[in-house]
Amino acid sequence: MAQPKNKKRRSRKRARSGPGGPPAPSGSTGPATGDRPTTTKAERSRKARDARSAAPGPPSLKADRGEAPQPIWAPLPITEGLILVGLIGAVAGLATQSTGLLLGGLGLLVASSLELALREHLAGYRSHSSLIAAVVAMASAAGLGVALNAADVGLPQWPLLLVAALVFAGMFRLMRETFKRRSGGLSFRV
């Protein structure tokens, strides 16, 4: 049966909270009106990680940016700011030939980069086994060298290099095993 031409057709679009979900309560606005979604980046990251762990098959070698671990100061870019300040300090120290400014800038760069690498590694996001092992090996060899120098022990440098190599090998293996546990069996991710 044909409808009379003077009647207007009504749209039958329904407001839904999600695809296939129950209708949204009246008076609520969805993402179509320009409102921000109610889930935070950390919640979306956790949901993506949970979905991947529940999915059958091996984990992906390609790390998704959505699953990057958030620091406890998440909305503030403190780590990135410290990297920028350290870079500016190191460049300024080189330009003015100021040893203190150069070492301070490099110290900030190393500390903030190491924090980021540890956070990503321990979350199983990306593997930084070599970097972490190298920093620990250099710190242990430098500490041992300073201690031996303070004790006025006349020792050649090759034993310090041997200690650094042994510490690197042990720390690398420990970090690799930790990453395998945290990432679901992968030894590295890119």
Residues 105 and 143 in one domain: no
Residues 99 and 146 in one domain: no
Spell out the SS3 assignment of 55-69.
Answer: CCCCCCCCCCHHHCC
CA distance 8 to 151: 96
Residues 131 and 105 in one domain: no
* Predicted local distance difference test score (pLDDT) of residue 88: 96
What would the pLDDT profile of 141-176 be if each residue is shown by its tens digit?
Answer: 999 988 888 888 877 888 899 999 999 999 999 999
Residues 102 and 154 in one domain: no
* Predicted local distance difference test score (pLDDT) of residue 32: 52
Q: What amino acid is encoded at 106 in this protein? A: L
- How far, in Å, are 6, 92, 111, 126 from residue 117 at the CA level? 69, 25, 10, 8
* Segments forming the whole domain that contains residue 140: 126-190
Residue 21 lies in a domain: no
Residues 130 and 155 in one domain: yes
Residues 167 and 190 in one domain: yes
Q: Total domain count for the chain?
A: 2
What would the pLDDT profile of 16-65 be if each residue is shown by its tens digit?
Answer: 554 544 555 554 454 555 555 577 776 776 776 666 566 555 666 666 66
